[in-house]
Structure 1
Amino acid sequence: MSEPTVLVVEDEKAIRDMLRMALEVAKYRFIEAENIRDAHVLIVDERPDIVLLDWMLPGGSGLELLRRLKRENNTREIPVIMLTAKAAEDNVIQGLEVGADDYVTKPFAPRELIARIQALLRRSAKDSAQDRIGVNGLVLDSDSRRVFAGEIALNLGPTEFNLLQFFMSHPERAYSRGQLLDQVWGANVYLEERTIDVHIRRLRKALQTDHADYGELIQTVRGIGYRFSSREHS
Protein backbone atom coordinates (compact mmCIF):
# COMPACT_ATOMS: atom_id res chain seq x y z
CA MET A 1 0.00 0.00 0.00
CA SER A 2 1.40 3.43 -0.94
CA GLU A 3 2.04 6.00 1.76
CA PRO A 4 -0.83 8.50 2.24
CA THR A 5 0.10 11.95 0.94
CA VAL A 6 -0.21 14.91 3.31
CA LEU A 7 -0.03 18.45 1.94
CA VAL A 8 1.13 21.02 4.49
CA VAL A 9 0.18 24.60 3.57
CA GLU A 10 2.16 26.79 5.96
CA ASP A 11 4.30 29.91 5.41
CA GLU A 12 6.64 29.32 8.37
CA LYS A 13 9.55 27.13 7.24
CA ALA A 14 10.34 25.97 10.80
CA ILE A 15 6.84 24.56 11.19
CA ARG A 16 6.98 22.89 7.76
CA ASP A 17 10.33 21.30 8.63
CA MET A 18 9.01 20.05 11.97
CA LEU A 19 5.94 18.58 10.29
CA ARG A 20 8.05 17.00 7.54
CA MET A 21 10.08 15.10 10.15
CA ALA A 22 7.02 14.01 12.15
CA LEU A 23 5.04 12.91 9.08
CA GLU A 24 7.90 11.04 7.44
CA VAL A 25 8.63 9.17 10.70
CA ALA A 26 4.90 8.24 10.77
CA LYS A 27 5.23 6.91 7.18
CA TYR A 28 3.35 9.65 5.35
CA ARG A 29 4.42 11.22 2.06
CA PHE A 30 5.01 14.93 2.72
CA ILE A 31 4.43 17.71 0.20
CA GLU A 32 4.39 21.41 1.02
CA ALA A 33 3.31 24.87 -0.10
CA GLU A 34 3.75 28.27 1.52
CA ASN A 35 0.89 30.16 -0.16
CA ILE A 36 -2.61 29.42 -1.45
CA ARG A 37 -1.69 29.67 -5.14
CA ASP A 38 1.01 26.99 -4.93
CA ALA A 39 -1.20 24.92 -2.64
CA HIS A 40 -4.07 24.83 -5.12
CA VAL A 41 -1.75 23.73 -7.94
CA LEU A 42 -0.41 20.89 -5.76
CA ILE A 43 -3.90 19.83 -4.73
CA VAL A 44 -5.04 19.56 -8.35
CA ASP A 45 -1.83 17.84 -9.54
CA GLU A 46 -1.06 15.58 -6.57
CA ARG A 47 -4.52 14.83 -5.12
CA PRO A 48 -3.27 14.60 -1.51
CA ASP A 49 -5.13 12.35 0.91
CA ILE A 50 -5.38 15.14 3.46
CA VAL A 51 -4.49 18.85 3.71
CA LEU A 52 -3.06 20.63 6.78
CA LEU A 53 -3.97 24.24 6.13
CA ASP A 54 -2.66 27.28 8.01
CA TRP A 55 -5.21 30.02 8.68
CA MET A 56 -2.95 33.00 7.93
CA LEU A 57 -1.04 32.82 4.63
CA PRO A 58 0.62 35.29 2.24
CA GLY A 59 -1.56 36.18 -0.73
CA GLY A 60 -4.81 35.21 1.00
CA SER A 61 -6.12 33.31 4.00
CA GLY A 62 -6.36 29.56 4.40
CA LEU A 63 -10.09 30.09 4.81
CA GLU A 64 -10.22 31.47 1.27
CA LEU A 65 -8.51 28.34 -0.09
CA LEU A 66 -10.81 26.12 2.00
CA ARG A 67 -13.89 27.79 0.47
CA ARG A 68 -12.48 27.20 -3.01
CA LEU A 69 -11.74 23.52 -2.32
CA LYS A 70 -15.25 22.89 -0.99
CA ARG A 71 -16.83 24.59 -4.03
CA GLU A 72 -15.02 22.44 -6.60
CA ASN A 73 -16.30 18.93 -7.34
CA ASN A 74 -12.85 17.35 -7.71
CA THR A 75 -11.52 18.66 -4.37
CA ARG A 76 -14.49 18.93 -2.00
CA GLU A 77 -14.00 15.39 -0.66
CA ILE A 78 -10.38 15.98 0.47
CA PRO A 79 -10.26 16.17 4.30
CA VAL A 80 -8.83 19.42 5.69
CA ILE A 81 -7.38 20.15 9.13
CA MET A 82 -6.93 23.85 9.90
CA LEU A 83 -3.75 24.94 11.71
CA THR A 84 -4.46 28.16 13.52
CA ALA A 85 -3.08 30.43 16.20
CA LYS A 86 -6.58 31.88 16.50
CA ALA A 87 -8.06 30.20 19.56
CA ALA A 88 -11.20 32.36 19.63
CA GLU A 89 -14.38 30.32 19.35
CA ASP A 90 -15.80 32.28 16.40
CA ASN A 91 -12.70 31.56 14.27
CA VAL A 92 -12.86 27.85 15.08
CA ILE A 93 -16.59 27.74 14.29
CA GLN A 94 -16.06 29.75 11.08
CA GLY A 95 -13.49 27.25 9.82
CA LEU A 96 -15.75 24.28 10.62
CA GLU A 97 -18.75 25.91 8.97
CA VAL A 98 -16.84 26.59 5.76
CA GLY A 99 -15.88 22.92 5.54
CA ALA A 100 -12.86 22.10 7.71
CA ASP A 101 -13.04 18.60 9.18
CA ASP A 102 -10.90 19.38 12.22
CA TYR A 103 -8.64 22.10 13.62
CA VAL A 104 -5.47 22.26 15.70
CA THR A 105 -4.48 25.38 17.62
CA LYS A 106 -0.81 26.41 17.64
CA PRO A 107 1.38 25.54 19.39
CA PHE A 108 0.55 21.85 19.01
CA ALA A 109 2.30 18.57 19.74
CA PRO A 110 3.22 16.65 16.54
CA ARG A 111 1.99 13.40 18.10
CA GLU A 112 -1.47 14.89 18.68
CA LEU A 113 -1.60 16.11 15.08
CA ILE A 114 -0.54 12.68 13.76
CA ALA A 115 -3.30 11.06 15.85
CA ARG A 116 -5.87 13.41 14.34
CA ILE A 117 -4.62 12.75 10.81
CA GLN A 118 -4.84 8.99 11.39
CA ALA A 119 -8.36 9.25 12.80
CA LEU A 120 -9.55 11.47 9.94
CA LEU A 121 -8.09 9.17 7.27
CA ARG A 122 -9.67 6.15 8.97
CA ARG A 123 -13.01 7.93 8.98
CA SER A 124 -12.75 8.86 5.32
CA ALA A 125 -11.87 5.31 4.29
CA LYS A 126 -14.22 3.45 6.63
CA ASP A 127 -16.86 1.37 4.87
CA SER A 128 -20.26 0.78 6.31
CA ALA A 129 -21.41 -2.77 6.96
CA GLN A 130 -24.20 -1.98 4.49
CA ASP A 131 -23.24 -0.83 0.98
CA ARG A 132 -26.50 1.04 0.38
CA ILE A 133 -28.87 2.36 3.04
CA GLY A 134 -32.24 3.94 2.29
CA VAL A 135 -34.74 5.78 4.48
CA ASN A 136 -37.84 7.54 3.13
CA GLY A 137 -36.23 8.19 -0.27
CA LEU A 138 -32.88 9.27 1.18
CA VAL A 139 -30.20 6.83 -0.05
CA LEU A 140 -26.57 6.59 1.08
CA ASP A 141 -24.19 4.58 -1.11
CA SER A 142 -21.04 3.61 0.80
CA ASP A 143 -19.06 2.40 -2.21
CA SER A 144 -19.38 5.62 -4.21
CA ARG A 145 -19.67 7.78 -1.04
CA ARG A 146 -22.67 9.56 -2.52
CA VAL A 147 -26.04 10.51 -1.06
CA PHE A 148 -29.26 10.85 -3.05
CA ALA A 149 -32.62 12.40 -2.25
CA GLY A 150 -34.72 10.62 -4.83
CA GLU A 151 -32.84 11.27 -8.07
CA ILE A 152 -31.03 14.33 -6.72
CA ALA A 153 -27.36 13.91 -5.73
CA LEU A 154 -26.60 15.87 -2.54
CA ASN A 155 -23.32 17.60 -1.78
CA LEU A 156 -21.90 16.41 1.55
CA GLY A 157 -18.39 16.92 2.86
CA PRO A 158 -16.48 13.85 4.12
CA THR A 159 -17.28 14.50 7.77
CA GLU A 160 -21.00 15.06 7.10
CA PHE A 161 -21.05 11.87 4.99
CA ASN A 162 -19.47 9.85 7.82
CA LEU A 163 -21.85 11.34 10.37
CA LEU A 164 -24.89 10.55 8.19
CA GLN A 165 -23.53 7.05 7.52
CA PHE A 166 -23.32 6.41 11.25
CA PHE A 167 -26.80 7.80 11.87
CA MET A 168 -28.40 5.79 9.05
CA SER A 169 -26.62 2.62 10.20
CA HIS A 170 -27.89 3.17 13.78
CA PRO A 171 -31.41 4.62 13.50
CA GLU A 172 -33.89 5.26 16.32
CA ARG A 173 -31.27 5.46 19.07
CA ALA A 174 -30.33 8.68 20.83
CA TYR A 175 -26.60 9.44 21.05
CA SER A 176 -24.89 12.02 23.20
CA ARG A 177 -22.40 14.42 21.63
CA GLY A 178 -19.57 12.55 23.36
CA GLN A 179 -20.75 9.23 21.91
CA LEU A 180 -20.96 10.71 18.42
CA LEU A 181 -17.45 12.10 18.74
CA ASP A 182 -16.15 8.67 19.77
CA GLN A 183 -18.06 6.79 17.05
CA VAL A 184 -17.47 9.15 14.12
CA TRP A 185 -14.21 10.93 14.98
CA GLY A 186 -12.56 8.21 17.08
CA ALA A 187 -11.99 7.77 20.81
CA ASN A 188 -8.40 9.10 20.64
CA VAL A 189 -9.34 12.42 19.06
CA TYR A 190 -10.01 15.28 21.47
CA LEU A 191 -12.52 17.83 20.19
CA GLU A 192 -14.94 20.20 21.84
CA GLU A 193 -18.47 18.80 21.90
CA ARG A 194 -19.69 21.96 20.13
CA THR A 195 -17.94 20.55 17.04
CA ILE A 196 -20.85 18.09 16.76
CA ASP A 197 -23.41 20.90 16.72
CA VAL A 198 -21.61 22.64 13.85
CA HIS A 199 -21.51 19.46 11.74
CA ILE A 200 -25.15 18.64 12.56
CA ARG A 201 -26.18 22.08 11.29
CA ARG A 202 -24.15 21.58 8.12
CA LEU A 203 -25.57 18.09 7.59
CA ARG A 204 -29.16 19.23 8.09
CA LYS A 205 -28.64 22.05 5.59
CA ALA A 206 -27.10 19.66 3.03
CA LEU A 207 -30.12 17.34 3.37
CA GLN A 208 -32.62 20.05 2.38
CA THR A 209 -34.02 19.96 -1.16
CA ASP A 210 -36.78 21.89 -2.94
CA HIS A 211 -39.08 18.88 -2.52
CA ALA A 212 -38.25 17.55 0.95
CA ASP A 213 -36.32 18.42 4.10
CA TYR A 214 -34.42 15.26 5.03
CA GLY A 215 -32.60 17.25 7.68
CA GLU A 216 -35.70 16.71 9.83
CA LEU A 217 -34.72 13.04 10.14
CA ILE A 218 -31.92 14.19 12.47
CA GLN A 219 -33.78 14.96 15.64
CA THR A 220 -32.51 16.87 18.66
CA VAL A 221 -33.11 14.91 21.87
CA ARG A 222 -33.29 17.40 24.70
CA GLY A 223 -30.78 16.72 27.46
CA ILE A 224 -29.10 13.91 25.51
CA GLY A 225 -27.96 14.75 21.97
CA TYR A 226 -29.23 13.57 18.59
CA ARG A 227 -31.15 10.72 16.99
CA PHE A 228 -31.78 9.70 13.35
CA SER A 229 -35.41 8.67 12.94
CA SER A 230 -38.27 8.76 10.46
CA ARG A 231 -40.79 8.49 13.31
CA GLU A 232 -42.49 11.21 15.29
CA HIS A 233 -41.13 11.41 18.84
CA SER A 234 -42.44 13.40 21.73
Structure 2
Amino acid sequence: MSDEERIREIFKRLNEVYTIRTFLDHDPYQVLVRTILSQRTRDENTDQATNNLFEVYPDIYAVADAPIEEIQKLIKPAGFYRVKAARIKEVSRILIDQYGAEVPREMDEMLKLPGVGRKTANCVIVFAFQDAAIPVDTHVHRISNRWGIADTKEPEETELVLMEKVPKDLWVDLNDLMVQFGQTICRPIGPQCDRCPIHDLCEYDLGVLGE
Protein backbone atom coordinates (compact mmCIF):
# COMPACT_ATOMS: atom_id res chain seq x y z
CA MET A 1 0.00 0.00 0.00
CA SER A 2 1.44 3.39 -1.00
CA ASP A 3 1.52 6.34 1.40
CA GLU A 4 -1.35 8.01 -0.46
CA GLU A 5 -3.44 4.83 -0.42
CA ARG A 6 -2.82 4.46 3.32
CA ILE A 7 -3.78 8.07 4.02
CA ARG A 8 -6.93 7.79 1.92
CA GLU A 9 -7.94 4.61 3.71
CA ILE A 10 -7.38 6.26 7.10
CA PHE A 11 -9.68 9.17 6.26
CA LYS A 12 -12.23 6.89 4.60
CA ARG A 13 -12.57 4.99 7.87
CA LEU A 14 -12.71 8.16 9.98
CA ASN A 15 -15.48 9.47 7.73
CA GLU A 16 -17.44 6.31 8.47
CA VAL A 17 -17.21 6.97 12.22
CA TYR A 18 -17.47 10.75 12.55
CA THR A 19 -19.80 13.38 11.09
CA ILE A 20 -18.28 16.60 9.79
CA ARG A 21 -19.49 19.46 11.98
CA THR A 22 -20.52 22.95 10.95
CA PHE A 23 -19.35 26.01 12.84
CA LEU A 24 -21.80 28.91 13.13
CA ASP A 25 -23.09 28.37 9.60
CA HIS A 26 -19.66 29.24 8.19
CA ASP A 27 -19.95 32.99 8.92
CA PRO A 28 -16.31 34.13 8.50
CA TYR A 29 -16.39 36.76 11.27
CA GLN A 30 -18.00 34.42 13.79
CA VAL A 31 -15.59 31.64 12.88
CA LEU A 32 -12.65 34.03 13.37
CA VAL A 33 -13.94 35.14 16.78
CA ARG A 34 -14.65 31.56 17.81
CA THR A 35 -11.12 30.55 16.86
CA ILE A 36 -9.64 33.40 18.90
CA LEU A 37 -11.78 32.31 21.85
CA SER A 38 -10.71 28.67 21.42
CA GLN A 39 -7.07 29.36 22.19
CA ARG A 40 -5.95 27.46 25.30
CA THR A 41 -9.40 26.27 26.32
CA ARG A 42 -11.80 23.37 25.80
CA ASP A 43 -14.39 23.20 23.02
CA GLU A 44 -17.34 23.38 25.40
CA ASN A 45 -15.94 26.57 26.95
CA THR A 46 -15.38 28.03 23.50
CA ASP A 47 -18.95 27.23 22.46
CA GLN A 48 -20.42 28.80 25.58
CA ALA A 49 -18.36 31.97 25.28
CA THR A 50 -19.08 32.30 21.56
CA ASN A 51 -22.81 31.84 22.01
CA ASN A 52 -22.87 34.28 24.94
CA LEU A 53 -21.15 36.97 22.88
CA PHE A 54 -23.20 36.72 19.70
CA GLU A 55 -26.52 36.45 21.53
CA VAL A 56 -25.92 39.93 22.94
CA TYR A 57 -23.79 41.46 20.17
CA PRO A 58 -24.86 39.71 16.96
CA ASP A 59 -22.51 41.27 14.39
CA ILE A 60 -19.12 42.86 13.91
CA TYR A 61 -20.40 46.41 14.38
CA ALA A 62 -22.08 45.57 17.68
CA VAL A 63 -18.97 43.81 18.95
CA ALA A 64 -16.68 46.66 17.90
CA ASP A 65 -18.84 49.20 19.76
CA ALA A 66 -19.51 47.06 22.84
CA PRO A 67 -17.98 48.06 26.19
CA ILE A 68 -14.87 45.98 26.80
CA GLU A 69 -16.14 45.06 30.27
CA GLU A 70 -19.31 43.56 28.81
CA ILE A 71 -17.35 41.49 26.30
CA GLN A 72 -15.12 40.24 29.12
CA LYS A 73 -18.14 39.07 31.13
CA LEU A 74 -19.68 37.27 28.17
CA ILE A 75 -16.55 35.42 27.08
CA LYS A 76 -15.26 34.61 30.57
CA PRO A 77 -15.91 30.84 30.17
CA ALA A 78 -13.18 30.74 27.50
CA GLY A 79 -10.48 31.87 29.92
CA PHE A 80 -7.89 34.64 29.42
CA TYR A 81 -10.97 36.78 28.86
CA ARG A 82 -9.29 40.17 29.29
CA VAL A 83 -6.69 39.45 26.62
CA LYS A 84 -9.22 37.83 24.29
CA ALA A 85 -11.78 40.62 24.71
CA ALA A 86 -9.19 43.24 23.79
CA ARG A 87 -8.03 41.16 20.83
CA ILE A 88 -11.57 40.66 19.53
CA LYS A 89 -12.38 44.37 19.74
CA GLU A 90 -9.12 45.34 18.06
CA VAL A 91 -9.56 42.84 15.23
CA SER A 92 -13.20 43.88 14.77
CA ARG A 93 -12.27 47.54 14.42
CA ILE A 94 -9.47 46.78 11.95
CA LEU A 95 -11.82 44.67 9.83
CA ILE A 96 -14.37 47.49 9.76
CA ASP A 97 -11.84 50.23 9.03
CA GLN A 98 -9.58 48.42 6.59
CA TYR A 99 -11.55 45.54 5.09
CA GLY A 100 -15.11 46.82 4.79
CA ALA A 101 -16.20 44.70 7.78
CA GLU A 102 -15.29 41.54 5.88
CA VAL A 103 -12.77 38.89 6.89
CA PRO A 104 -10.15 38.59 4.14
CA ARG A 105 -10.01 35.24 2.40
CA GLU A 106 -6.27 35.31 1.76
CA MET A 107 -3.82 33.85 4.29
CA ASP A 108 -1.36 36.74 3.93
CA GLU A 109 -4.06 39.31 4.74
CA MET A 110 -5.38 37.37 7.73
CA LEU A 111 -1.88 37.08 9.17
CA LYS A 112 -1.74 40.89 9.31
CA LEU A 113 -4.48 40.87 11.96
CA PRO A 114 -3.16 41.07 15.54
CA GLY A 115 -2.99 37.70 17.24
CA VAL A 116 -3.89 35.74 14.13
CA GLY A 117 -1.36 33.03 13.37
CA ARG A 118 -1.37 30.25 10.80
CA LYS A 119 -3.58 27.94 12.84
CA THR A 120 -6.28 30.60 13.28
CA ALA A 121 -6.05 31.68 9.65
CA ASN A 122 -6.26 28.09 8.44
CA CYS A 123 -9.33 27.49 10.64
CA VAL A 124 -11.10 30.43 9.02
CA ILE A 125 -10.07 29.31 5.52
CA VAL A 126 -11.45 25.80 6.16
CA PHE A 127 -14.47 26.34 8.39
CA ALA A 128 -15.68 29.67 7.01
CA PHE A 129 -14.69 29.59 3.36
CA GLN A 130 -14.46 25.81 2.86
CA ASP A 131 -11.19 26.30 1.02
CA ALA A 132 -8.33 23.80 1.19
CA ALA A 133 -6.03 24.37 4.15
CA ILE A 134 -4.73 22.36 7.11
CA PRO A 135 -5.21 23.83 10.60
CA VAL A 136 -2.75 22.06 12.89
CA ASP A 137 -3.75 22.03 16.55
CA THR A 138 -2.49 19.75 19.31
CA HIS A 139 -4.66 16.85 18.12
CA VAL A 140 -3.53 17.04 14.50
CA HIS A 141 0.12 17.43 15.51
CA ARG A 142 0.04 14.52 17.96
CA ILE A 143 -1.93 12.12 15.78
CA SER A 144 0.08 12.82 12.62
CA ASN A 145 3.21 11.81 14.49
CA ARG A 146 1.58 8.75 16.02
CA TRP A 147 0.40 7.60 12.61
CA GLY A 148 3.93 8.00 11.27
CA ILE A 149 2.86 10.48 8.61
CA ALA A 150 4.98 13.16 10.29
CA ASP A 151 8.10 13.12 12.43
CA THR A 152 8.06 16.68 13.70
CA LYS A 153 8.47 18.73 16.86
CA GLU A 154 6.40 21.82 16.05
CA PRO A 155 2.90 22.28 14.55
CA GLU A 156 4.28 24.51 11.82
CA GLU A 157 6.53 21.66 10.66
CA THR A 158 3.59 19.27 10.78
CA GLU A 159 1.52 21.55 8.57
CA LEU A 160 4.21 21.51 5.88
CA VAL A 161 4.53 17.72 6.01
CA LEU A 162 0.77 17.20 5.79
CA MET A 163 0.48 19.63 2.88
CA GLU A 164 3.08 17.55 1.06
CA LYS A 165 1.71 14.09 1.90
CA VAL A 166 -2.07 14.42 2.25
CA PRO A 167 -4.07 14.68 -1.01
CA LYS A 168 -5.55 18.16 -1.29
CA ASP A 169 -9.13 16.93 -1.62
CA LEU A 170 -8.88 15.67 1.99
CA TRP A 171 -7.66 18.94 3.53
CA VAL A 172 -11.00 20.59 4.31
CA ASP A 173 -12.23 17.70 6.46
CA LEU A 174 -8.86 16.74 7.95
CA ASN A 175 -8.87 18.93 11.07
CA ASP A 176 -12.44 18.20 12.12
CA LEU A 177 -12.05 14.45 11.68
CA MET A 178 -8.72 14.31 13.50
CA VAL A 179 -9.93 16.51 16.37
CA GLN A 180 -12.96 14.28 16.96
CA PHE A 181 -10.73 11.22 16.70
CA GLY A 182 -8.25 12.76 19.15
CA GLN A 183 -10.98 13.62 21.65
CA THR A 184 -12.59 10.18 21.64
CA ILE A 185 -9.97 7.53 20.83
CA CYS A 186 -6.46 8.82 20.10
CA ARG A 187 -6.23 10.75 23.36
CA PRO A 188 -3.01 12.37 24.59
CA ILE A 189 -2.82 9.93 27.51
CA GLY A 190 -4.20 6.41 27.29
CA PRO A 191 -5.17 6.19 23.61
CA GLN A 192 -7.80 3.51 23.09
CA CYS A 193 -5.96 1.52 20.47
CA ASP A 194 -8.14 -1.56 21.09
CA ARG A 195 -11.19 0.24 19.67
CA CYS A 196 -9.42 2.32 17.03
CA PRO A 197 -10.88 2.06 13.50
CA ILE A 198 -7.47 2.48 11.88
CA HIS A 199 -5.31 0.48 14.33
CA ASP A 200 -3.90 -1.72 11.56
CA LEU A 201 -2.70 1.37 9.67
CA CYS A 202 -1.17 3.16 12.64
CA GLU A 203 2.53 2.96 13.44
CA TYR A 204 1.90 3.91 17.08
CA ASP A 205 -0.35 0.90 17.61
CA LEU A 206 2.15 -1.34 15.83
CA GLY A 207 4.80 -0.22 18.28
CA VAL A 208 6.97 1.47 15.66
CA LEU A 209 6.69 4.92 17.26
CA GLY A 210 7.08 5.98 20.87
CA GLU A 211 4.84 8.48 22.63
Indicate whether the TM-score tops 0.5: no
Structure with bigger RCO (C-alpha 8 Å, 6+ apart): 2
Which TM-score band (shorter chain)?
A: under 0.3
- As a proportion of its length, which structure holds more helix? 2
- As a proportion of its length, which structure holds more strand? 1
TM-score by length of 1: 0.26
